[in-house]
Amino acid sequence: MKRKVIEKLESIVGSDWVVVEEDQMQDYLIDETPEPVRPKPNPDVVVVKPEGVQEISEILKLANQESVPVVPRGGGTGLCGAAIPTKPSIILSLERLDDIIEIDRDNFTITCEAGVTLEKLLEELEETDDLFFPPHPGDEGAQVGGLVIENAGGARAVKYGVIRNFVKGLEIVLPTGEAMELGGKIIKNNTGLDLLDLVIGSEGILGIVTKVTFRLYPTPKERVSLVVPYGDRHSAVDTVPDMLREGLTPLSIEYMEEDLIERACEHLGEKWPVKTRGSAYLYIIVTGNDEEEAFSQCEKIGNICQEHGALDVVIADRRREQEKILNIRSNIYTALKPDSVDILDVTVPPAEIGKLMDEIEKIGEKYETYIPAYGHVADGNVHPHIMKEDGKTPPYMESMKEEIYSKTKELGGVITGEHGIGKTRIKNLPQAVGSKYIDLMKKIRKVFDPNNILNPGTVVEDD
Ligand X SMILES: Cc1cc2nc3c(=O)[nH]c(=O)nc-3n(C[C@H](O)[C@H](O)[C@H](O)COP(=O)(O)OP(=O)(O)OC[C@H]3O[C@@H](n4cnc5c(N)ncnc54)[C@H](O)[C@@H]3O)c2cc1C
Per DSSP, the three-state class of 249 is coil
Out of 39, 78, 175, 354, the only residue in the binding site for ligand X (CB under 6 A) is 78
Chain positions 244 to 263 lying near ligand X, rule: CB under 6 A, are none
For the chain, how far is it from start to end, CA to CA, in angstroms? Answer: 23
- By the 8 A CB rule, do 92 and 120 touch? no
Max Cα distance, the chain (Å): 70
Out of 48, 152, 182, 411, the only residue in the binding site for ligand X (CB under 6 A) is 152
Out of 5, 47, 48, 71, the only residue in the binding site for ligand X (CB under 6 A) is 71
The answer to the question of residue 305 lying near ligand X (CB under 6 A) is no
From 75-83, 179-187, 288-296, 314-322, give the range in contact with ligand X by CB under 6 A: 75-83
Whose CA is closest to 77, among 419, 338, 342, 388? Answer: 419
The answer to the question of residue 31 lying near ligand X (CB under 6 A) is yes
Out of 63, 149, 158, 373, the only residue in the binding site for ligand X (CB under 6 A) is 149
Q: Exposed/middle/buried for 187, CB within 10 Å: 0-12, 13-18, 19+? A: exposed
* Nearest residue (CB) to ligand X, 91 versus 315: 91
The answer to the question of residue 82 lying near ligand X (CB under 6 A) is yes
Which of the 8 DSSP states describes residue 82?
A: T
The answer to the question of residue 177 lying near ligand X (CB under 6 A) is no
Per DSSP, the three-state class of 132 is strand
Report, in this order, helix, strand and coil percent for the chain, each rounded to 5: 40, 20, 40
Out of 68, 112, 158, 209, the only residue in the binding site for ligand X (CB under 6 A) is 209
Q: Residue 162, by phi and psi: left (phi above 0), alpha (psi -120 to 50) or beta? A: beta
Using CA atoms of 188, 190, 193, 196 in order, give the dihedral in degrees to the nearest 10. -10
β-partners of residue 255 are 282, 375
The answer to the question of residue 83 lying near ligand X (CB under 6 A) is yes
Whose CA is closest to 336, among 282, 266, 236, 399? Answer: 266
The answer to the question of residue 94 lying near ligand X (CB under 6 A) is yes
The answer to the question of residue 419 lying near ligand X (CB under 6 A) is yes
| Minimum separation from the CB atom of position 136 to ligand X (A) | 7
- By the 8 A CB rule, do 147 and 76 touch? no
Out of 41, 153, 372, 380, the only residue in the binding site for ligand X (CB under 6 A) is 153
- By the 8 A CB rule, do 360 and 407 touch? yes
The answer to the question of residue 394 lying near ligand X (CB under 6 A) is no
* Nearest residue (CB) to ligand X, 176 versus 303: 176
Residue with smallest beta-carbon separation from ligand X: 146
From 16-24, 53-61, 79-87, 320-328, give the range in contact with ligand X by CB under 6 A: 79-87
Dihedral (CA of 235, 241, 242, 248) sign: positive
| Minimum separation from the CB atom of position 439 to ligand X (A) | 21
Out of 9, 12, 17, 32, the only residue in the binding site for ligand X (CB under 6 A) is 32
The answer to the question of residue 354 lying near ligand X (CB under 6 A) is no
| Minimum separation from the CB atom of position 126 to ligand X (A) | 20
| Minimum separation from the CB atom of position 303 to ligand X (A) | 29
From 143-151, 236-244, 308-316, 399-407, give the range in contact with ligand X by CB under 6 A: 143-151
The answer to the question of residue 381 lying near ligand X (CB under 6 A) is no
Whose CA is closest to 213, among 266, 170, 247? Answer: 170
Give CA–CA dist 397/167, Å, rounded.
36
The answer to the question of residue 333 lying near ligand X (CB under 6 A) is yes
CA 308 → CA 236, 244, 283, 301, 316, distances in Å? 7, 14, 15, 11, 21
The answer to the question of residue 79 lying near ligand X (CB under 6 A) is yes
| Minimum separation from the CB atom of position 232 to ligand X (A) | 26
The answer to the question of residue 201 lying near ligand X (CB under 6 A) is no
From 131-139, 316-324, 352-360, 362-370, give the range in contact with ligand X by CB under 6 A: 131-139
The answer to the question of residue 38 lying near ligand X (CB under 6 A) is no
The answer to the question of residue 418 lying near ligand X (CB under 6 A) is yes
Out of 455, 456, 457, 460, the only residue in the binding site for ligand X (CB under 6 A) is 455
The answer to the question of residue 407 lying near ligand X (CB under 6 A) is no
CB contact set of 382 (below 8 Å; sequence gap of 6+): 255, 346, 347, 353, 356, 357, 360, 373, 374, 375, 376
Q: Which residues of this chain interact with ligand X, rule CB under 6 A?
A: 31-32, 71-79, 82-83, 94, 114, 137-139, 142-143, 145-147, 149-150, 152-154, 203-204, 208-209, 333, 418-419, 455, 458
